[in-house]
Amino acid sequence: MSGWTPAGVLGAGLQVAMVVAGAPLLLGAMRQVRARLEGRAGAGIGQPWRDLRKLTRKEPIRPRGTTEVFRAAPVLLVATTLVVAAVGPFLTTSSPLDRVADLFAVVALLTLGTVALALAGLDTGTAFGGMGASREMTIAALVEPTLLVAIFALSVRVGSTNLGAIVTSTLHDPGRVISPVSLLAAVALLVAITAETGRLPVDNPATHLELTMVHEAMVLEYAGPDLALVELASAMRLAVFLGLLANLFVPWGIATGAGVAALLPAMVAFAGKVTLLGVALAAGEVFLAKLRLFRVPELLAGSFVLALLAVAASFFLA
Amino acid sequence: MSVAAAAMGLAMAVAAVAAVAAVITPASRRQPVVGVATAVAGAAGLVSGVAAMAGSGYSVALPWLLPLSGLAFAIDPLGGLFVAVVGGVAVVTAVYGIGYRGHGLGSRAVQASFPLFIGAMLLVPAAASAGTFLVCWELMSLASLVLVVTEHRHQPRVAQAGLWYAVMSQLGLVAILIGLLVFAAHAPDDGFGSLRAAAEQLPPAARGVVFGATLAGFAAKAGIVPLHAWLPRAHPEAPSHVSALMSAAMVSLGGYGIVRVGFDLLGDPGRWWWLLVLALGAGSAVYGILQAAVHTDLKRLLAYSTTENMGLVLVGIGAAGMFASAGARVLAGLALAAALLHVINHAAFKALLFLAAGSVLRATGTRDLDALGGLRSGMPVTTALFGIGALAASALPPGTAFVSEWLLLQSLVHGLPAAGTATAVTMPVAVAAVALTAGLAVATFVKAFGVGFLAKARSPAAAAATESPPTMLAGMAAAAAACAGLALLPALLLPAVGHAVAAADAGAADPAVRSAVSLRLVGVAGSLSPLLLATALLAAAAAVLITVRLVARRAGRVAPLWDCGGGPLTARMEYTATSFAEPLQRVFDDVLRPELDVDVSHHAESRYLVAAVEYRRRVPDPIEQRLYRPVLAAVAWWGSAGRRLAPGSVHRYLGYGFYGVTALLVVLAVTR
Amino acid sequence: MSDTAYVQLLDLACGAFLLAAVLVLWRRELAVIVRVFALQGLALAAIVAVIAGHDRSAELGALACGILALRAGLLPWLLRRALAGAGPAKETRPLVNVAASLLGAAVLTMIAYAVSGPLVTLAPSPATHAVPVGLTVVLIGFFVLVTRRRALSQVVGFLLVDNGITATAFLTTAGVPLLVELGVSLDVLFAVLVLQLLATRIRDTFGDTDLDELQELHD
């Protein structure tokens, strides 16, 4: 299905704009929810944008002894997330970049962003950077099987791993959403997404203790506009992952045809679903503590088993 | 005469000339002459293979060349694919070898064996009878053995590595010999045509023996677990361009053998054999990359990564076989195309990685990642090329391995409804195994590139590294260009791969491709455009850079790294490769069983003050511990039991012969 | 040569051939053994000469002369030279005592007759009837090789084997091509030279050529 229609191009552009503009707002909303539940006043939904603005106004600092990898990593991170934001089935199922909208390709692109950051962490030559990179790569390596097998489970009924095709087929067959396959795959993906985006219980995004840092340790040396890019990228990744989770399982509201008019309700639906998911995630985080790094593989193994069961169910219940 | 035949003839002639030239040229000009000649031979081989893949095949029989059976050659698209792979890798390594000086590399024997090795490897996929195949295979093994032990005068470990390699390659040859002999015994002669015709009447037991024996031999050559022990020993000790040649070209001939015997000659050995192939492949892939993730010797890491990639190839071949047995020809063609494409991709990036590792070894004198680092400042080109190779190897877009792994995953994912509970159980496990290897591969290559090349140098040798000579860089650059081409435009290659699949009679030809820019799978729903992905990525990166330039106006400055106020950071504070892999090693320590040694020395004044802590970790190969050692111990026990037969008395020895002959004569007389 | 004379001469020569082999097994003194070996060479040459005379072949006649020169002349001379350098000329007690050896020789003769039965029935002729003799000498030579202690006696055993093979060849096919015979003879010559050299070395190192002493070298 060729997406080079006005609706398709406009949809892709709007998706990117929404993700870029809305991701810090999503992050702010999640932090605000956590703060309120913990009895604090909170900094407001717009605080992440205020932080980004502050960071871009600062002086760019390049640590001595680092190479181009350190400078290129934030750019690459944001670029991969932008591409995923453009191809994902967020506002429309017919994207102009349909040839890239393969679920395996999308997952691999997001891993590419993680790799860029890990290399930057190693490039600093500090113990923090190395430690963060090491832990991040361990978690990423162990999350891959869950992600890919969950994608497998999703694609069996549809017969394709193309994102647009999966969403369209779920739209045509609403009963599939509450089947055991979908539920198991959804839970497995939720755990995997928690690991990939560095949320509790895998990683605490608000910590700066070296014993507990994973993502924060890698980006410790970044300052100024580079740090702004990294923060923006991590918010965008969260938004993109939540968007994928939402639209793969609950796609109603998405624009399927070539009509431009369907994009407005699609935007509202997307924003609503992602915010809802984010708020639920944040509320859940209040009750969780961070796991030891060496308990994380057990969690990921559990999610892997769920994904495997989803695949088995899709075969035996076919 | 067809293009393929002419090019192959030229390749053989030039290789022979190169071998002779190696013996007669004086030492000062030996390496350039042999290098150039071998590169020409490799290029001719590449042309021949590509022409064969495009359809121009040929066959020639030379019955007078060898007693008893003669030699017969025929090249079809399947063989042509492997000839092209060997030719391409040969060109790159030969150019690299012109400038690669080292201990023992300039000697006549080594320089003469190099073109002989390449010539034999070019002939193996072109063999058309069992005798020819075995002769070329053995020639390849012997030539490579000479090359592996190049530096044995300089390093005693090299001789031991050569011994392992020699024994395992000869045992593999014996296994292949048994398989092919049993096969040829049921056919009028040993040509591949007669074998194909006789395959239908083969009794099931013989079919099993043939496939089992040849699988064992070819799997040993491909470095599949549990017959992989020679790979991580021989590759680090061989000179780097020889390691590249062996890892990129020679091990893929193991895969060629399995496809040729399993699909083409035998027809179909049965679903359970293909399941075994798939299981072996999945096991090797996971085991190989796990070992690579925890090793710090750069070339050993790459050798284990070869085991992993060959495992993935075998997963593809096994899946193709299972689908073909079940009648799903489209899927079988897709899986086999994925496996063959992975062979090509692996050749490209593994050659690049080994050559870059050789460059590092030459500049710093060490292969240990824990002692490297900071090579970006002294060796920028090598660093960039290794980075390209690492991206290509780690199955991330826009890398090379991503395309073939995507194809493999597509074939596995669509294979679920194919047939039977066997596939229903194996496909998810296979997908999980491929996914785990992909994840671990990413971690491994981040370790290799990040620890080895970035940040600060961890030893004086690494700090003093300088860039390699231009011929070495040219060889590496050619391999990198091949990686980039394969990554961005794989659709151009797929019709040829489809011909190879059809030649193997495995499935529907032409599994994909509509346009040159993207892959669209035929028969199953799926499409991917690596070029579009790369372009989108570049465009996004450009957009980000422009935005940052517009928004962040202040000029930057250089500042020291954060050191917590404790003084400037030294290289000792950096994460090493051992520490990077430690979480992974802990997660998998039931499989890896590392040996840890922690040595704490205290201050003389107080036991509570620690003066130094020494941490030593060794990860032995568990398969070696649990499989090889008992086998070798049993063989040694047999040997010492046999020594009782040899007490030193000459009369006893003569008596054995005499009594044997007499007993035989008596039996002869009695049983008439 | 008339047929009866041919058969009688052939049988006589074969009988002498076999007797010489048995004598090697019977006598213990090395000097006597070498002399008996020379006699056997003479008997072998006689066999070939008789066949040559019957077939009227000049080539076989030349071969007979060559065999005479080599096996009745050159080889015994080499052995005597080796013997001259040796110490006590007597053979030490053999591994199997003389009586048992002779019984063993009888058993070997019976085996040889049983085995070569089909050969004889394949192409019956006076020559092929004598094939069992050749085979017996081979087996007796092998037996000597196995049961003697002194290196020199073992060399004689080896040469007996070769004599037996040559006799069998001539009796079954009326000769082997000249080239083969030359090659075999050259091999034998070299073997004897090498063995003599080795025996000298062993004697120089250990003072004796009793091969059982060599067992001490085994660890």
Residue A249 has pLDDT above 70, yes or no: yes
Query: Residues B369, B505: one domain?
Result: yes
Residue B605 has pLDDT above 80, yes or no: yes
Q: Which of A77-81, B16-20, B270-274 has the lowest mean pLDDT?
A: B270-274
Cα separation, B460 vs A122, in Å, equals 19
Asked if residue B93 lies in contact with residue B49, where contact means CB atoms within 8 angstroms, the answer is: no
Cα separation, A85 vs B411, in Å, equals 27
Q: Which of B127-141, B222-236, B470-484, C116-130 has the lowest mean pLDDT?
A: C116-130
Q: Contacts from B120-124 at CB under 8 Å and sequence distance 24+? A: B121/B86, B121/B90, B121/B245, B121/B249, B121/B250, B121/B253, B122/B8, B122/B11, B122/B12, B122/B15, B122/B41, B122/B45, B122/B48, B122/B83, B122/B86, B122/B87, B122/B90, B123/B12, B123/B73, B124/B82, B124/B253, B124/B256
Asked if residue B243 lies in contact with residue B354, where contact means CB atoms within 8 angstroms, the answer is: yes
**Is there a contact between A165 and B540 if contact means CB atoms under 8 Å apart?**
no
Which residues on chain A are in Cβ contact (under 8 Å) with B438? 144, 148
A155-166 residue pLDDT tens: 887 888 888 888
pLDDT of residue C176: 66
Please report which confidence band the pLDDT of residue B511 belongs to, taking 50, 70 and 90 as the band edges: low
Residue B32 has pLDDT above 80, yes or no: yes
Beta carbons within 10 angstroms of residue B69's beta carbon: 18
Across chain B, mean pLDDT equals 89
B653-671 residue pLDDT tens: 888 889 998 999 888 888 8
Distance of CA B182 to the CA centre of its chain: 28
Query: Residues B423, B543: one domain?
Result: yes
> Six-digit token pair at B465?
């590294």
**Is there a contact between B552 and A60 if contact means CB atoms under 8 Å apart?**
yes
Buried/exposed code over B555-582 (b: 16+ C-beta within 10 A; e: otherwise): eeeeeebeeeeeeebebebbbbbbbbbb
Asked if residue B134 lies in contact with residue B178, where contact means CB atoms within 8 angstroms, the answer is: no
Cα separation, B311 vs C58, in Å, equals 72
Write the residue in B427, B528, B582 that is nearest to A105 by C-beta: B528
Closest chain C residue to B646 measured between Cα atoms? C218
Please report which confidence band the pLDDT of residue A318 belongs to, taking 50, 70 and 90 as the band edges: low
The minimum CA-CA distance between A252 and chain B, rounded to whole Å, is 23
Asked if residue B299 lies in contact with residue B240, where contact means CB atoms within 8 angstroms, the answer is: yes
Residue B535 has pLDDT above 60, yes or no: yes
**Chains C and A in direct contact, meaning 3 or more beta-carbon pairs closer than 8 angstroms:** no
Asked if residue B270 lies in contact with residue B322, where contact means CB atoms within 8 angstroms, the answer is: no
Beta carbons within 10 angstroms of residue B233's beta carbon: 24
State percent of chain A over pLDDT 70: 98
Residue B268 has pLDDT above 90, yes or no: no
Cα separation, B277 vs B259, in Å, equals 11
Looking at residue C81, its amino acid is: R
Which residues on chain B are in Cβ contact (under 8 Å) with C142? 657-658, 661
pLDDT of residue B328: 81
Neighbours of chain A (3+ CB pairs under 8 A): B
Give me the domain span that covers residue B654: 622-671
Task: Please give the DSSP secondary-structure letter assigned to residue B126.
Answer: G
Please report which confidence band the pLDDT of residue B86 belongs to, taking 50, 70 and 90 as the band edges: very high
A179-228 residue pLDDT tens: 888 888 899 999 999 988 888 888 887 777 777 778 888 888 898 899 99
Residue B306 lies in a domain: no
Query: Residues B642, B525: one domain?
Result: no
Query: Residues B517, B653: one domain?
Result: no
Mean pLDDT of B640-650: 81
CB pairs < 8 Å spanning A and B: 251
Residue B613 lies in a domain: no
Residue A135 has pLDDT above 80, yes or no: yes
Residue B342 lies in a domain: yes
Residue B191 lies in a domain: no
Closest chain B residue to C113 measured between Cα atoms? B669
Which residues on chain B are in Cβ contact (under 8 Å) with A142? 439, 587
Specify the residue for token string 């003697």: C148
Write the residue in C114, C139, C142 that is nearest to B669 by C-beta: C114
Query: Is C115 at the interface with chain B, CB within 8 A?
Result: yes
**Chains A and B in direct contact, meaning 3 or more beta-carbon pairs closer than 8 angstroms:** yes
Separation in Å, CA B170 to CA B97, B130, B140, B163, B546: 27, 17, 11, 11, 60
Closest chain B residue to A76 measured between Cα atoms? B541
Q: Which of B566-570, B647-651, C35-39 has the lowest mean pLDDT?
A: B647-651
Closest chain C residue to B650 measured between Cα atoms? C211
Please report which confidence band the pLDDT of residue B248 belongs to, taking 50, 70 and 90 as the band edges: very high
Cα separation, B444 vs A137, in Å, equals 9
**Is there a contact between B651 and C142 if contact means CB atoms under 8 Å apart?**
no
Which residues on chain B are in Cβ contact (under 8 Å) with A138? 443, 583-584, 587
pLDDT of residue B107: 85
Please report which confidence band the pLDDT of residue B201 belongs to, taking 50, 70 and 90 as the band edges: confident
**Is there a contact between B454 and A58 if contact means CB atoms under 8 Å apart?**
no
Looking at residue B468, its amino acid is: S
Q: Which of B5-19, B458-472, C182-196 has the lowest mean pLDDT?
A: C182-196
Q: Which of A304-313, B420-429, B443-452, B516-525 has the lowest mean pLDDT?
A: B516-525
pLDDT of residue B495: 81
Across chain C, mean pLDDT equals 83
Write the residue in C143, C154, C214 that is nearest to B648 by C-beta: C214
Half-sphere exposure of C96 (CA within 13 A, CB side): 17
Query: Residues B638, B524: one domain?
Result: no
Mean pLDDT of B47-62: 85
Cα separation, B74 vs B64, in Å, equals 17
Residue B178 lies in a domain: no
Mean pLDDT of B440-463: 92
Closest chain B residue to A122 measured between Cα atoms? B450
pLDDT of residue A231: 93
Query: Residues B536, B659: one domain?
Result: no
Query: Residues B339, B435: one domain?
Result: yes
Mutate to test the interface with B, among C110, C138, C139, C142 (most CBs of B within 10 A): C142
Ramachandran angles phi, psi of B615, nearest 5°: -115, 120
Query: Residues B520, B629: one domain?
Result: no
pLDDT of residue C89: 60
Specify the residue for token string 């399941």: B275
Query: Residues B497, B631: one domain?
Result: no
Mean pLDDT of C165-180: 77
pLDDT of residue B512: 58
pLDDT of residue A45: 92
Residue B270 forms beta bridges with which residues?
Answer: none
Query: Residues B512, B652: one domain?
Result: no
The minimum CA-CA distance between B669 and chain C, rounded to whole Å, is 5
Domain endpoint, select from B587, B613, B638? B587
Cα separation, C58 vs C122, in Å, equals 27
Closest chain A residue to B414 measured between Cα atoms? A159
> Six-digit token pair at B338?
């994925």
Looking at residue B228, its amino acid is: H
Residue B482 forms beta bridges with which residues?
Answer: none
Which residues on chain C are in Cβ contact (under 8 Å) with B672? 117-118
Mean pLDDT of A235-254: 90
Write the residue in A97, A108, A141 that is nearest to B440 by C-beta: A141
Residue B180 lies in a domain: no
pLDDT of residue A1: 46
**Is there a contact between A63 and B556 if contact means CB atoms under 8 Å apart?**
no
The minimum CA-CA distance between B550 and chain A, rounded to whole Å, is 10
Please report which confidence band the pLDDT of residue B344 belongs to, taking 50, 70 and 90 as the band edges: very high
Distance of CA B333 to the CA centre of its chain: 23
Residue B437 lies in a domain: yes
Residue B498 lies in a domain: yes
Domain endpoint, select from B536, B571, B587? B587
Write the residue in B395, B424, B532 that is nearest to A99 by C-beta: B532
Closest chain B residue to A138 measured between Cα atoms? B584
State percent of chain B over pLDDT 90: 50
pLDDT of residue B653: 83
Q: How many domains does one find in chain B?
A: 2
**Predicted TM-score (pTM) of this structure:** 0.84
Q: Name every residue whose Cβ is closer than 8 Å to that of residue C113 and which is 6 or more positions away in sequence.
A: C132, C136
The minimum CA-CA distance between A43 and chain B, rounded to whole Å, is 25
Which residues on chain C are in Cβ contact (under 8 Å) with B654? 145-146, 154
The minimum CA-CA distance between B67 and chain C, rounded to whole Å, is 22
Residue B150 has pLDDT above 70, yes or no: yes
